[in-house]
Amino acid sequence: MSRLVTSVVDGKSLDAGESPRLQSLNPSNLDDVVAEIDPAPPRVFTSAAIVASNAQKQWADVPSPVRGRAIAHIGRVVEENKQTLAALVTREIGKPYGEALGEVQEIVDTCDFFLGEGRRLYGQTVPSEMPDKQLFTYRNPVGTVAVITAGNFPVAVPSWYIVPALLAGNTVVWKPAEYSAAISQALHELFVRGGGLPDGVLNIVHADGPSTFAGLEESLDGGYIDKVGFTGSPEVGREIGGLTGRHLQTACLELGGKNPLVVTPSADLDLAVEGALFSGFGTGGQRCTSLGTVIVHESVHDEFMRRFTAAVDAAVVGDPAGDVLMGPLLDAKFAERFEKFLGWIQPQHTVHGRTGRITTANPRPGFTGDAAAGLYYHPVIVDGVRPGDEIFDNETFGPIVGVTTYSTLDDAIDLANAPGYGLSCSIYTNDAREVFTYRERIGAGMVSVNNSTSGAEAHLPFGGNGKSGNGSRLSGLWVLDQFTRWQSMNWDYSGKLQKAQMDVTEL
Ligand code: UN1
């Protein structure tokens, strides 16, 4: 059964009546229409921004411990609905059910972290250089935040923005991905109901990319948006960064990754294979933290490949409702993009696995889906990739892992940094010196040691450098620097004009 999904602004569901309706399809069975979306024109985004902007002062006046309680309730309501939400994630984006449960857990963890922050949200007292004068700092909300999110983590990632933004006294206009519209709508309802949020505090706008961009521009022109949080591709991130910069506002950009995994001679190879399998092919390789390239020491390359290819051959692809390593790709748009990468495999590469879509004629042993009906692909390992190859240089966002070799750790680090992304990375080693050299010289914001590139915990700084983002960090306390602005106050009770830098007390 499909559900009609409309934007909700100021607590009212708006059917702008635009046609044609967009559709969100179940990628395991493209005949299953999960959502019919009423696509909002730019004016709906702008009116949502105006509504949010008008609601902000009142929301900021709610004491932050009370806002923290709202976050606590949201976490509880989401947890009560964990199975239903996870089942919808599995149906609408094809994420294996076990991973979908983990994803819902991530928003619960985020709420757990922030519910207490309402009672902290500390400022500071700062010593003055003059007597009878006090200095203070305060965290003020930024105002109205536009949150634009991808659909590969349709529950966890929006919560990384929305939960701390609301906690800090901001109001939000949320534009989720079209291909996860039903999940986003369900989540929005849980947020509003669970948190008892007043109308206008969290608005959801379903729109396509161009309408969102036009609405965002209009809202920035009007001064209704003070901050943008965006998770998505580097191309769109650049556009959003440019647009916000021209309006003297800032964006928190979480973009792609081409995440390397280095396997050194001292590595536990079975552990490294397990990590490569999970982060390379789990979620169909469609996490921003997914493994891009294994950089393996030449002395262990052959043995690593023997074990890695065996593990991939034994992996089950299929119906995401079952116990599988990966289900279908998220959406037709991503399948099309992924096929381009398959076309970029070169004669000098050695390919393990069947390249291309799984059809009824060629299912793998253990395949459990309906190949004819869904966007199922074979997992592929491409050995022998080098800088300059499309597959080495770019995020593929699909089930393809490149492999290359190195001889010294310096080479490995240069190869790891070469694509110019810098989100996540990992190293498998038992040599402490290698760990610290790698950590110091790698461009990534997140480093795993003897662990895969995926699966960051919800209270550590999350974010990247280079093509992976503009250095902003989500999660934990660090994200508060995105959604608050420091204000300083000085209070002179000396009864005279004391001049900073000029009237400093001498010893
Ligand atoms: C993403 O793909 O945008 O670290 C986020 C991880 C997950 C989040 C991925 N916790 O893999």
**201 burial type by CB count under 10 A (0-12 exposed, 13-18 middle, 19+ buried):** buried
- What ipTM was assigned to the predicted interfaces of this complex? 0.96
HEC secondary structure over 83-118:
HHHHHHHHHHHCCCHHHHHHHHHHHHHHHHHHHCHH
In a domain? residue 5: no
Task: Tell me how far the alpha carbon of residue 284 lies from the centroid of ligand 1, in angstroms.
Answer: 13
Residue whose CA is at the smallest distance from ligand 1 atom 3 = 288
Q: What angle do CA 446, 448, 449 make, to 5 degrees?
A: 150
DSSP string, 216-262: HHHHHHHT---EEEEES-HHHHHHHHHHHHHTT-EEEEE----EEEE
How many angstroms is it from 127 CA to the middle of ligand 1?
41
Measured in degrees and rounded to the nearest 5, phi and psi for residue 215 equal: -65, -40
Q: DSSP secondary-structure letter at 504?
A: P
| One domain, residues 57 and 107 | yes
Q: Which of 10, 20, 4, 3 is nearest to 44 (CA)?
A: 10
Please list every protein residue whose CB sits less than 6 Å from any atom of ligand 1.
106, 152-153, 156-157, 231, 287-289, 454-456
Residues 227 and 272 grouped into a single domain? no
CA of 470 to the centre of ligand 1 (A): 17
**Residue 504 confidence (pLDDT):** 74
Instruction: State the Cα–Cα distance between residues 325 and 36, nearest whole angstrom.
Output: 29
**181 occurs within a structural domain:** yes
Same structural domain for residues 316 and 438? yes
Active-site option among 92, 106, 254, 395: 254
Q: Report yes or no on 19 lying in a domain.
A: no
Could you tell which of 281, 286, 462, 475 is best to mutate to test the pocket of ligand 1, judged by most ligand atoms within 8 Å of the CB?
Answer: 462
Dihedral angle sign, alpha carbons of residues 441, 442, 447, 453: negative
Number of domains in the chain: 2
Residue 506 lies in a domain: no
Specify whether 267 is located in the same domain as 251. Answer: no
Distance in Å, CA 334 to ligand 1 centroid:
17
In a domain, 493, yes or no: no
CA-nearest residue, atom 7 of ligand 1: 455
- Domain co-membership, 355 together with 391: yes
Residues 265, 321 within the same domain: yes
> Which stretches within 353-485 are classed as H helix?
390-393, 409-417, 432-441, 480-483
Mark whether 112 and 175 lie in a shared domain.
Answer: yes
Residues 202 and 310 both lie in one domain? no
Query: In the prediction, which pLDDT does 15 show?
Result: 81
Domain limits for position 298:
259-449
- Which atom of ligand 1 is nearest the CA belonging to 288? 2
Helix-, strand-, coil-residue percentages of the chain, each rounded to 5: 40, 20, 40
- Let me know if residue 222 belongs to a domain: yes
Rg value, the chain, Cα: 24
Q: Give distance in angstroms: CA of 87 to centre of ligand 1.
A: 19
Closest-lying ligand 1 atom to the alpha carbon of residue 457? 10
**Residue to probe by mutation, ligand 1, list 252, 454, 473, most atoms within 8 Å of CB:** 454
Residue 156 Cα: closest atom of ligand 1: 8
- Asked if 244 and 281 sit in the same domain, the reply is no
Number of other residues whose CB lies within 10 A of the CB of residue 33: 15
CATH assignment at residue 382: 3.40.309.10
Residue 352 within any structural domain of the chain: yes
Residues 395 and 419 occupy one common structural domain: yes
- Regarding whether 232 and 138 lie in a shared domain, the answer is yes
Q: Which two tokens stand for residue 492?
A: 């002179």
Structure tokens at 450: 């003897």
Ligand 1 atom index nearest CA of 462: 4
Question: What b-and-e string marks burial along 38-64, b requiring 16 or more CB atoms within 10 Å of the CB?
Answer: bbbebebbbbbbbbbbebbeebbebeb
Residue 30 lies in a domain: no
Q: What is the pLDDT along the chain (507 residues), one digit of tens a residue?
A: 888 999 999 999 998 676 789 999 999 999 999 999 999 999 999 999 999 999 999 999 999 999 999 999 999 999 999 999 999 999 999 999 999 999 999 999 999 999 999 999 999 999 999 999 999 999 999 999 999 999 999 999 999 999 999 999 999 999 999 999 999 999 999 999 999 999 999 999 999 999 999 999 999 999 999 999 999 999 999 999 999 999 999 999 999 999 999 999 999 999 999 999 999 999 999 999 999 999 999 999 999 999 999 999 999 999 999 999 999 999 999 999 999 999 999 999 999 999 999 999 999 989 999 999 999 999 999 999 999 999 999 999 999 999 999 999 999 999 999 999 999 999 999 999 999 999 999 999 999 999 999 998 989 999 999 999 999 999 999 999 999 999 999 999 999 999 998 887 777
Kindly report the CATH number assigned to the domain that includes residue 113. Answer: 3.40.605.10
Task: State CA 346 to chain mean position distance.
Answer: 31
Ligand 1 atom closest to 103 (CA)? 10
The model carries a pTM of 0.96
**Is 390 annotated as catalytic?**
no
CA distances from 394 to 253, 262, 288, 388 (A): 18, 18, 12, 10
CA of 365 to the centre of ligand 1 (A): 29
Total residue length of the chain: 507
pLDDT of residue 16: 67
Which ligand 1 atom sits nearest the alpha carbon of residue 286? Answer: 2
Chain centroid to Cα 43, Å, comes to 27
245/306 same-domain check: no
Q: How far is the CA of 445 from the centre of ligand 1 (A)?
A: 13
